[in-house]
Amino acid sequence: MELLINSMKQSPASIISIFGFFVLLLLLLAAAGTPVSADHDGTTGPHDDADKDGWTVEAGDCDAILNTYAGPITAEDMGQMPNCKIIARYGIGVDTIDLKAATEAGIIVTNNPTYCIQEVAEHAMALMLACARRVAFFDRQVRAGEWNVMAGKPMFRLEGSTLGLLGFGNIAREVAKRGAAFGMNVIFADPFVEEGQFGVPAKKVENDELFREADLLSVHPPLIPQTRGMLNDDVFKVMKSTAYIINCARGPIIDTDALVRALDAGEIGGCGLDTTDPEPLPNPHPLRDRDNVIINPHAAWYSIEAMQGLQQGAPNEVRRVLSGEWPINVVNRDVKGSSRAGL
């Protein structure tokens, strides 16, 4: 059996034999310098296909792929991997994998949806607090030698404000609990979740009401064709001029050009972004150097604890499939019964 560790250009893809699978895999991850990085609620880091020809050639005989950043993995790529039974994502997002093609090819695709739920929820709250209390602005001001509280106006308290959650998956529900603990009025919009379904304190509304009422709009849907550019000119025009947008999901859910226009026109109050489009954000860029914009380098997923879950999730799924077991976190469930693994 052969396993392809499919990563990013800092570490070229390499094939290893699965012998003493877990011990060997962990040794190689450390010794070969393979980055163990993450995507989430939905992601993280640039997708790089610069070494694509190299890894697809190497992948010709592989039985499994462990995937971090590299992509996209297309139908053409899968056609060159006739023995591949599983593509296991280290992170949550699978927008770099052609799921339809994988299903048609009989390849199981898995992800790792729970390793950083707490981290991303906490990071979203941190960005909310930083925006509402102008934490990053004041820090820059003091470092520059200034000392002026009034320069941070306007500021507002979280208690009594309306937290709008676009999407109500695992991470959004954790954000809802934290928002409620701060005394926020929590509303959400998600066509796949009913109010009260998970016992989380939040009121379900339609998208239009969510955008109109939110003082802080936290973005949580996966990146799929229907959500790409979902936050656009039309959305920003109906939002409160004091509202802040928080994005710890996927950068392309927000139309970046429209966001710049909205900020320039004063249609929204500002934003806290852990993810951007493109990523990393070029320098210079019109989103940089704004007092009402906080940008983080897609760091919300990370903690010491999350790294442990990250490193275990994908290899465990590969082990299951190559041992004849159905994996736990299957994304393309329709492949069951027709997979190359005979599962």
Q: Would you mind telling me the total number of residues written for the chain in this entry?
A: 343
For strands 64-67 and 14-17, give the pairing: unpaired
**Rounded CA separation 234/221 (Å):** 18
Residues facing 2 on adjacent strands: 17
C-alpha distances out from residue 46 to 19, 54, 208, 257, 278, Å: 31, 18, 32, 19, 8
Catalytic residue among 89, 123, 134, 298: 298
Q: Has 250 been annotated as catalytic?
A: yes
Q: Are 234 and 257 in contact (CB under 8 A)?
A: no
Q: Has 279 been annotated as catalytic?
A: yes
Backbone angles phi, psi at 117, to 5 degrees: -60, -50
Token pair of 269, please? 């109050």
Single-letter amino acid, residue 109: V
Closest CA to 342 of 112, 63, 70: 63
**Rounded CA separation 252/224 (Å):** 10
Q: Are 206 and 154 in contact (CB under 8 A)?
A: no
Closest CA to 60 of 112, 145, 2: 2
Chain-centre distance for alpha carbon 167? 13
C-alpha distances out from residue 28 to 3, 123, 316, Å: 12, 31, 16
**Rounded CA separation 126/205 (Å):** 25
**Rounded CA separation 175/123 (Å):** 9
Handedness of CA 71, 73, 76, 82 (dihedral sign): positive
Catalytic residue among 89, 220, 250, 319: 250
Catalytic residue among 119, 213, 279, 317: 279
Chain-centre distance for alpha carbon 189? 18
Q: Has 288 been annotated as catalytic?
A: no
> Which residues belong to the active site?
250, 279, 298
